[in-house]
Chain A
Amino acid sequence: MDGGWLLLAILFSSLGPGIAIFFLPEHRQGLRTALNLGGAGTKLALVGVLLAGVLRGDEYRFSLPLMPGIDLVLAADALSLLFASLSAVLWFVTTVYAIGYLEGSPRRSRFFGFFSLCVSATVGIALSGNLITFLIFYEILTLATWPLVVHRGTPAALRAGRLYLGYTLTSGLVLFTAIVWLTLLAGAEGFTPGGYLEGLAETHAVTLQVLFVLLMVGFGVKAALVPLHSWLPIAMVAPAPVSALLHAVAVVKAGAFGIIRVVNDVYGAELAIELGLTAGLLVIAAVTIIYGSIQALRTDDLKQRLAFSTVSQVSYIILGVALAGPLGVIGGLVHLVHQGITKITLFFCAGNFAETLGIHRISELDGVGRRMPLTMLAFTAGALGMIGLPPLAGFVTKWHLGLGALEAGMPWILGVLVLSSLLNAAYFLPPVIRGWLGERREPWHEPLQGHAGPTRFETHWMLLFPVVFTAALGLLVGLFAGLGLSPLGWVSLIVQRDYSLPGFGL
């Protein structure tokens, strides 16, 4: 139980305030904000302590018996910290944004209560030490997100909520069954770099293949793998901070993280290749990348375009993992962070356009760069990052994925990467071009000024600062990718420390 208290403290730093917020009367705005920011700040600090500890090589572990032979295990390895730090940083930013976004709207206690619950579940997923713990937090995440998706209470929101629950609960049951089955076969092992199933490979090869498919169905719904992705573009009716959280940190990433865990820490890359599992995953990831991009091109709704872009971009992570070579894994893992930072910027921007000027469609973006230059600048940075323009974040990802594909001897992946970059450019450049070069004829419609009054900046400062911050972060992680504590540096450390992948050399 070394340092287990730290892991628990990280979990409770958002869970505690979340529960307190539920019981807060609606009008206690100051206290609610204090709880929100206090929780987010505490979590950030604690994750920082943990990060330093893991870098030193300390072990952190907490376990609690649940059933005979089965424990709830929290553990911190380099991979879980990658996800935990991402969610801690982005949660802080999103909290600030959400406070500004929801100012004056009803039912905020309920919103922030579930918001905190959602983030607690995400951190729980990051720190899970075995599959059962993972499943527990994964399902809590499903449930905690539903009230956020339906928050607006409109028929469209409720429909999206039903669809979301239908998809995620069904896949959750598939996952549940698969995990119980796997635990019956292999015991409740903790995540082990390189996997813990080699012993079963000879006797239970077919069972392991079937289980892998079931696990991928279970995680694939949240990771929005085609054809299980339909809920995601519809769920974008949720308020902008929720969409941002859903797409960048919580739900979609939880699915992707689950796939990473299964391939790397349950099956192990070698066994996965041997059973022919990565090849199938690779094809699905490639199809999803292309399909998501094409769908994104076809829609005029800004948030929906971003949602389809998520479908496509998250599959880069899966692609990298499925390449199952060190460079590919680096590319995939680093995209977990890069996609998160970039996509949250884009969703914040979309939210700012909608809140400040009532813009929801790309065709309405003409000339918005003159009215909201900072937001548009952030949007541009995010869009170019997604396209993969050097030296932005997306480029670092695609570079490593490309190298990984060559290393794995699969040059056709390069074709997929080039095609998807072209498609990315095709659907991200039009809004950018319209924003900067288009011309607005009639005066702007300003719903925000109607209820919040004029502001010093181009929009409410709590909406603007997070956008500028994440956009800058997106630039920095690309520019300083070579430094040790950059996401790329950290991911290389993970790969070096935890994976004895064949033929590793950087």
Chain B
Amino acid sequence: MIPANAEWLPAGSAGLVALSLGVAVLATAWPRQAHRIGLLGALAVTAWVLGLSALFLHAGPDPNTAATRIALGGWEAPLGLMLQLDGLSMTLLVLTAVVALATSLYSLGYVHDRIERRQFWPLWLWLWAGLNMLFLSGDAFNLYITLEVVSLAAVALVAFTGTAAAVSGAVRYLLVNILGSLSFLMGVVLLFGEHGVLDLVLLEARTEAGPTERMAAVLMTAGLMLKAALFPLHVWLAPAHGSAPAPVSAVLSGLVVTGSFYLILRLWMGVFAPLTTPAFGILVGLLGVGALIWGSLQALRAGRLKSIVAYSTVAQFGYLLVAFPLMLVDPGAWRVVVFFAVVHALAKASVFLAAGTLQHAAGHDRLAELGAVLRARPRTVFALGLAGVSLMGLPFSGGFIAKYLLLEAGLGTVLAGSLIGVLWVLAIAGGGLLAAAYVLRMVASAFHRGRRDVGEAVSPWMDWVPLGLATVAALAGLAGTLTLNTLALTPGAP
């Protein structure tokens, strides 16, 4: 028997899509009031997502009851568009809501110019709606569409300040995104041509390890890796994320990149699962080690605060790649990977928001000249440090729990007799030390003796939101069990 709560889930999911789209459309149609609509919409969407997650958890613990597939307009697959809500989507929806709410509040202070406000809010709301739809999409074509919505909104957001650096960063970002999307689309077309369906569940049932699937897998994965800035396709990330306005950087590094990674994970756990081989896993793992080292070294060399943070994203995503071979040994490890991505998103978004506050106060973000402002703004530095602790994987933060679970999975493969597992363990443990080095680089000058200068005044939102989000990232460790249990409510996943 289906519990009464579960009956509300389809309506709740469809309602979420409708609500977030509605807010975006409203803000586009009425740009003068966009920031008010945006704030109310942000609160409403967040409340809706939290309510939905409560319903979802209440409908458990049987994964098949809690997870829901909804045919829009009554058209069933393979013809209609499917929405799909399961533990994985739910977790990422909640993450998106938390980060997006924080970013919205921050933007109230950050984007105060009237013209900029009219441009920023509609784009931002479209981006958020796109992410919500991406996480709820259940078929390959729908995924492509939502991915495009997210990408185009993101490109426009990178460019919206109109400075030369922003525009050139945006153009690069646009090219990368078009390339990535095209590659993804070709893969979708190949799959559709072979099997005649787009729905992920139906596709999963029909795929085998054939040449078409291999080609599609390569195209789609390469496209998504490009978008997720996974090593070695990461070169575009630092200029784009580093030059974007702070709230945009936070969303790009926290959510958009995670969205692309979500798709990779979704595809390889479902449709492409038959294609994985141990050798392939090791290759991906080696790429991850490369990302960890290269990204960290770049972060240690970068001269600008936001570049450090951006390179740190490249490094931190290396962990996700390192986890790939671990998943081949212990399939259940995917939940750890998602949890890691979640805590990374929280921490990274708060670091970017804090960096934005410092940049705004100082008028620049050149690390060497930032000392005076850092010394005068202990609250922001504290946020930076607190989120940094989570990036380092030290307690008491979400990053620590994620690191613990990753290390556990890594040692598990070593104990299972895998020699290369030692490399994964070293990478997982040593990466934290590199992270500590670049986080220390960011905050150390706050402790130097010297001049103090508050710099330009910032709004209270910009002062407090980074600290609030960093606190959430630090306390995310307490949500470890809850997140892992939610993720377990994903039918079909190991």
Contact = CB atoms under 8 A, between A and B. Distances in A.
A362 interface: no
B472 interface: no
Interface in A54-84: 64-68, 70
Most buried by A among B429, B447, B450: B447
Interface in A135-181: 135-137, 139-140, 142-143, 147, 150-154, 158, 161-162, 165, 169-170, 172-173, 176-177, 180-181
B389 A143 contact: yes
A184 interface: yes
Given A153-B448, A169-B433, A181 B484 contact: no
Contact of A67 (B394, B396, B481): B481
B449 A154 contact: yes
Nearest to B394: A139
A64 B401 CA distance: 14
B404 A180 contact: yes
B396 A140 contact: yes
Most buried by B among A135, A151, A153, A161: A153
B395 interface: yes
Contacts of B430: 173
A67 B411 contact: no
Interface in B467-488: 477-478, 480-481, 484-485
A176 B432 CA distance: 11
Contacts of A169: 392, 394, 432-433, 436
A176 B407 contact: yes
A158 B394 contact: no
A22 interface: yes
B405 A67 contact: yes
B144 interface: no
Contact of B449 (A143, A147, A153): A153
A184 B450 contact: no
B412 A184 contact: yes
Contact of B395 (A140, A162, A181): A140
Given A152-B449, A176-B407, A139 B436 contact: no
B444 interface: yes
Most buried by A among B411, B412, B480: B411
B382 interface: yes
Contacts of A154: 449
Given A68-B481, A181-B411, A170 B404 contact: no
B150 to A, nearest CB: 32
Given A139-B395, A140-B396, A158-B448, A66 B411 contact: no
Q: Is the interface of B mostly helix, strand, loop or mixed?
A: helix
A150 B375 CA distance: 13
Contacts of A140: 394-396
A184 B415 contact: yes
Interface string B435-459: 0100010001001111000000000
Interface in B416-444: 425, 429-430, 432-433, 436, 440, 444
B407 A66 contact: no
A235 to B, nearest CB: 14
Interface in A184-226: 184
A173 B411 contact: no
B7 interface: no
Given A136-B395, A139-B394, A180 B411 contact: yes
B369 interface: no
A43 interface: no
B407 A67 contact: no
Nearest to B429: A173
A398 interface: no
A181 B409 CA distance: 10
A110 interface: yes
A165 B440 contact: yes
Contacts, number: 82
Contact of B484 (A67, A132, A135, A177): A67
B429 A65 contact: no
A132 B447 CA distance: 31
B408 interface: yes
Contact of A158 (B401, B425, B447): B447
A65 B401 CA distance: 12
Interface size class of B (residues with CB under 8 A): 35 or more
A184 B436 contact: no
Given A165-B436, A176-B407, A184-B408, A65 B481 contact: yes
A22 B425 CA distance: 37
A362 B390 CA distance: 44
B474 to A, nearest CB: 11
Contacts of A183: 408
B124 interface: no
A136 B404 CA distance: 11
A162 B440 CA distance: 9
B400 interface: yes
A110 B378 contact: yes
A147 B440 CA distance: 11
Contacts of B415: 184
Contacts of B440: 162, 165
Most buried by B among A66, A139, A173: A173
Interface in B370-401: 378-379, 382, 389, 392, 394-396, 400-401
Interface string B242-261: 00000000000000000000
Contacts of B379: 23
Nearest to B440: A165
Interface in B68-88: none
A143 B481 contact: no
A26 to B, nearest CB: 10
Nearest to A138: B395
B401 A184 contact: no
A216 B415 CA distance: 22
Nearest to B382: A22
A140 to B, nearest CB: 6
Contacts of A132: 404
Contacts of B478: 64, 66
Contact of B425 (A65, A67, A177): A177
A172 B394 CA distance: 9
Nearest to A207: B415
A116 to B, nearest CB: 14
A184 B448 contact: no
Contacts of A147: 447
Given A153-B448, A158-B447, A66 B477 contact: yes
Nearest to A150: B447
A294 B389 CA distance: 38
A173 B481 CA distance: 23
A131 to B, nearest CB: 12
B447 A180 contact: no
A205 to B, nearest CB: 16
B389 A66 contact: no
Q: Which 7 A-B pairs have the closest CB atoms?
A: A153-B449, A136-B395, A180-B407, A150-B447, A173-B429, A139-B394, A139-B395
Given A169-B392, A183-B408, A184-B415, 16 more contacts: A65-B481, A66-B478, A137-B395, A150-B447, A152-B449, A153-B447, A153-B450, A158-B448, A161-B447, A162-B440, A165-B436, A169-B433, A173-B429, A176-B404, A177-B407, A177-B425
Interface of A: 22-23, 64-68, 70, 110, 132, 135-137, 139-140, 142-143, 147, 150-154, 158, 161-162, 165, 169-170, 172-173, 176-177, 180-181, 183-184
30 contacts: A22-B378, A22-B382, A66-B401, A67-B401, A67-B480, A67-B484, A68-B481, A139-B394, A139-B395, A140-B396, A142-B394, A143-B389, A150-B444, A150-B447, A151-B447, A152-B449, A153-B449, A153-B450, A154-B449, A158-B444, A158-B447, A158-B448, A165-B436, A165-B440, A173-B433, A177-B429, A181-B411, A184-B411, A184-B412, A184-B415
